[in-house]
Amino acid sequence: MTALRVARCLPDGFLAGALRADARAGLTATPKVLPPKWFYDERGSELFEKITRLDEYYPTRAERSILRAAAGQIAAGTRARTLVELGAGAADKTRLLLDALAGAGTLASFVPVDVSETALIEAARRVAGEYPGLAVTAVVSDFEEHLGLPSGSEARLVVFLGGTIGNLLPGQRAAFLRSLRSRLRPGDAFLLGTDLVKDPAVLVAAYDDAAGVTAAFNKNILSVLNAALGADFDPDAFEHVALWDAGAEWIEMRLRSLQPQRVTLPAIDLQVTFGEGEELRTEVSAKFRRERVAAELAAAGFTMAGWWTDGQGRFGLSLSVPAERGPHGRRGSVAGRAAFHPPHPGIGEPQLGDQLGGDPLGRDRPAAEQVHRDQVLLRPGVNGQVRLGQDQHQGNRTVGEDHVAGVEHGAAAGLHRGARGGGQFRDIGHR
Ligand code: SAH
Ligand code: AVI
């Protein structure tokens, strides 16, 4: 038997109720809007995986190249025993981190969290099969409601990859980050993937591919409403729209009604009308600049300790730790700089003023792709262990791509509550 557990953090029927509430609120609003988390039924998750393989959709490849180069440093710096992945999806790139943490000898458990149950369990099953000895707990949850973080005193690395944070609106993002920060302890770390602002033509192409996969993904939200609410949306009566909002610095996906139409949603006793050309917003996908990532993290009480981008500067990966001072400086007593509390050998107080040490990635190696590493201090500590901390030296460094080599926990009881709490944990056991 593989060490796979499935945990549910939300009360029975919670997600079904949330979908009904979101459909009612969003379809009676002006303009009409639906939250993007409802894309991801089984087919939606499959379509997303197809998107990640499209030529036009660069974020997955860009983030993977960063992870290939940086996973070793992240593993050495965090020495995490538990890897928690929010919005894990297929958890494909995650293997780079699992391999690195296993190579560092610290990895014991993997906790993928996702709202898309079928895809989550399939991904968790695969990982459990590939990493004998790794305890895998798949948590079915909405991370805005319940983060699904395992309790216990072991160092946790929480990862949120793919740029999914950009699918939250600014207020939701701030609440999510504050909620996560409030549940982290000294010694935990947070790895965040953010897609970066770039040429709008590149961005729009990534969300409006020639093969129409993104259009099918977008329209799938209507099929989700049809299946869950008995609605009679005709996906062919809508066209896919992707546009760049330069002011908000986000991509918007919309569904534009091709004709005047009336849609019935019997399960919520609702009829809605669409005028010809009327649009329903289904997703925002915010694009970031490094300063905004750092500022949003700082506002939530994180200190960014590492920042990497791919060679073309398309995608950013940040590694943060709980700041000594909490959100807006309300907590703690150390002012003006980050402080680390070493919970275990490996993460220590940053050695402010020290030079960056020798290149841990071996710049003389042939690099398949270059990545840029910035503001990360990684050097051997006094006892020969690697320390990760904030670095005062400015400027990007280019490092070669690195390849890193390739796991019990299971007592999922006591998972931490998320933004609005309100959940209950139910362990449905091994599968
Ligand atoms: N992390 C993967 C998948 C990204 S797709 C990658 O980088 O490729 C976004 C994933 O987040 C989907 O699997 C979707 O089901 C999940 N997701 C979206 N909103 C969510 C929410 N509110 N709570 C939990 N999972 C969510
Ligand atoms: C999951 N998320 C980061 C994707 C994105 O790029 O915003 C979802 C997606 N939407 C269209 N294509 C991909």
CA–CA gap between residue 140 and residue 142 (Å, rounded): 7
Q: Which of 130-134, 331-335, 354-358 is least confident?
A: 354-358
Q: For 21-47, what is each residue's pLDDT tens digit?
A: 999 999 999 999 999 999 999 999 999
In the reported structure, the alpha carbon of residue 214 is separated from the centroid of ligand 2 by a whole-number distance in angstroms of 9
Is residue 233 over pLDDT 90? Answer: yes
Note if the bond before 31 is cis, omega within 30 degrees. Answer: yes
Is residue 424 over pLDDT 80? Answer: no
Q: For 347-360, what is each residue's pLDDT tens digit?
A: 332 222 222 222 22
Backbone angles phi, psi at 393, to 5 degrees: -80, 135
Predicted confidence band at 148 (pLDDT cuts at 50, 70, 90)? confident
Among 35, 42, 23, 31, which Cα is nearest to 267's?
Answer: 23
156, β-bridge pairs: 82
Residue found under tokens 């960056």: 356
263, β-bridge pairs: 272
pLDDT at residue 1 in the model: 57
Q: What is the mean pLDDT of residues 299-310?
A: 97
CA distances to 113, 118, 134, 383 from 125, in Å: 13, 11, 11, 38
pLDDT at residue 362 in the model: 26
CA–CA gap between residue 35 and residue 278 (Å, rounded): 17
Ligand closest to the CA atom of residue 41 = 1
In the reported structure, the alpha carbon of residue 254 is separated from the centroid of ligand 2 by a whole-number distance in angstroms of 13
CA–CA gap between residue 294 and residue 191 (Å, rounded): 12
CA–CA gap between residue 35 and residue 284 (Å, rounded): 9
Question: H or E element: which one contains 129?
Answer: helix 117-130
Q: What is the mean pLDDT of residues 74-102?
A: 98
Residue 354 has which token pair?
């020290």
DSSP string for 11-75: -TTHHHHHHHHHHHHHHSSSSEE--GGGG-SHHHHHHHHHHHTSSS--HHHHHHHHHHHHHHHHH
CA–CA gap between residue 111 and residue 409 (Å, rounded): 9
Residue 311 has which token pair?
């060679």
* Average pLDDT along the chain: 81
CA–CA gap between residue 144 and residue 55 (Å, rounded): 31
CA–CA gap between residue 245 and residue 251 (Å, rounded): 6
Q: For 4-19, what is each residue's pLDDT tens digit?
A: 999 998 999 999 999 9
330: helix, strand or coil: coil
In the reported structure, the alpha carbon of residue 173 is separated from the centroid of ligand 2 by a whole-number distance in angstroms of 16
Q: Which residue has the higher pLDDT, 58 or 373?
A: 58
In the reported structure, the alpha carbon of residue 88 is separated from the centroid of ligand 1 by a whole-number distance in angstroms of 6
In the reported structure, the alpha carbon of residue 360 is separated from the centroid of ligand 1 by a whole-number distance in angstroms of 32
Residues contacting 424, CB < 8 A, separation 6+: 9, 10, 11
Residue 194: CB within 6 Å of ligand 2? no
Q: Mutation test of ligand 2: which of 45, 50, 51, 165 has the most ligand atoms closer than 8 Å to its C-beta?
A: 51
CA–CA gap between residue 324 and residue 375 (Å, rounded): 18
Residue 390: CB within 6 Å of ligand 2? no
pLDDT at residue 309 in the model: 98
pTM score > 0.85 for this model? no
Among 404, 410, 418, which Cα is nearest to 102's?
Answer: 404
Residue 116: CB within 6 Å of ligand 2? no
| 8 A C-beta contact, residue 48 and residue 39 | yes
CA–CA gap between residue 136 and residue 359 (Å, rounded): 34
Residues contacting 122, CB < 8 A, separation 6+: 90
Predicted confidence band at 327 (pLDDT cuts at 50, 70, 90)? low
CA–CA gap between residue 297 and residue 304 (Å, rounded): 7
Q: For 250-301, what is each residue's pLDDT tens digit?
A: 999 999 999 999 999 999 999 999 999 999 999 999 999 999 999 999 999 9
Q: What sign has the CA pseudo-torsion 260, 261, 262, 265?
A: negative
Ligand closest to the CA atom of residue 191 = 1
Residue 124 has which token pair?
């968790």
Is residue 333 over pLDDT 50? Answer: no
CA–CA gap between residue 126 and residue 102 (Å, rounded): 17
Residue 162: CB within 6 Å of ligand 2? yes
Q: What is the mean pLDDT of residues 244-249?
A: 98
Q: For 58-69, what is each residue's pLDDT tens digit?
A: 999 999 999 999
Ligand closest to the CA atom of residue 166 = 2
pLDDT at residue 328 in the model: 58
pLDDT at residue 381 in the model: 31
